[in-house]
Amino acid sequence: MLDVIFLSYDEPTADENFELLQLFAPHAKRVHGVAGILNAHKECAKASSTNYFYVVDADAIIDEQFSFRFKPSQHKEAYENVAETECVYTWRSLNPVNKLIYGYGAVKLFPKRQLLQAKEFKVDMTTTIGCPFVPKFQISNITAFNTDPFSTWKGAFREATKLASSIIPNGDNTDNEYRLKVWCERGKKAEFGKYSIMGAQQGRDFGTYYRNRPETLHLINDYTWLREQFNDSTE
């Protein structure tokens, strides 16, 4: 059985989501309060006693049909000449605001050694740490990011920036364009939906303008900067 690590920082519903996770994965561990996305994931790797480990974000409400049974095999290939054990995996999640279903906020599976060796990533954590990325198509959770105005805006802004800038390697542009359009237009009547749409529209503009400046795009992983942008937008 692979380790399951619950990763939290300051999410309002983290405690209750962790309790729910433990119903499905009683052995789950928790890493809390580590600043920096790469640093936080490295702490998850250090906390894991298995060579591969699942990461569950703090805003994830686990789907009751999902299990943590998949284990990569060195004897199977994810891609031609690429063993399963060399890859990062991401399942799918349901967005409660705009009803999109894809990898945003979903459960992930990392190889411990490769993550500990990673020195940097390019805006998106799962696709740019030097490991092949493998999408899994089962729904793992609801990504309940719409818990308050800032959390909702932040989640939408970050995701729309990634979609608009095409920063994710080997991404499907047609899928990305559709997802971005949905983020920017749907969900107004959902809880804190107007903040999701506002964040997505501003993230779209930011990602489009700075699409060729990855060092600037990396600001979406600076939560202090994000808070400043949100405050400026809502004054």
Strand partners, 194: none
Q: How many residues does the chain have?
A: 235
Q: Could you tell me if 102 and 96 are in contact, meaning their C-beta atoms sit under 8 angstroms apart?
A: no
Q: Give the whole-angstrom CA distance, residue 141 versus residue 103.
A: 10
pLDDT tens readout for residues 185-214 = 999 999 999 999 999 999 999 999 999 998
pLDDT tens readout for residues 109-126 = 999 999 999 887 666 666
User: Rg of the chain over CA atoms, in angstroms?
Assistant: 17
Q: Give the whole-angstrom CA distance, residue 205 versus residue 181.
A: 12
HSE-up (13 A, CA, CB side) for residue 79: 10
Whether the predicted pLDDT of 169 surpasses 70? no
pLDDT of residue 121: 67
pLDDT-derived band of residue 129, with 50, 70 and 90 as boundaries? Answer: confident
Q: Could you tell me if 219 and 225 are in contact, meaning their C-beta atoms sit under 8 angstroms apart?
A: yes
Q: What is the pTM for the complete model shown? A: 0.93
DSSP secondary structure letters along 61-87: EE-TT--S-----TTSEEETTEEGGG-
| Buried/exposed 60-91: b ≥16 CB within 10 Å, e otherwise | bbbbeebebebebeeeeebeeeeebbbbbbbb
CA angle 192, 171, 115 (to 5 degrees): 85
Q: What is the mean pLDDT of residues 85-111?
A: 96
Per-residue tokens: 73: 């095999």
Pairing status of strand 133-143 against strand 88-94: parallel
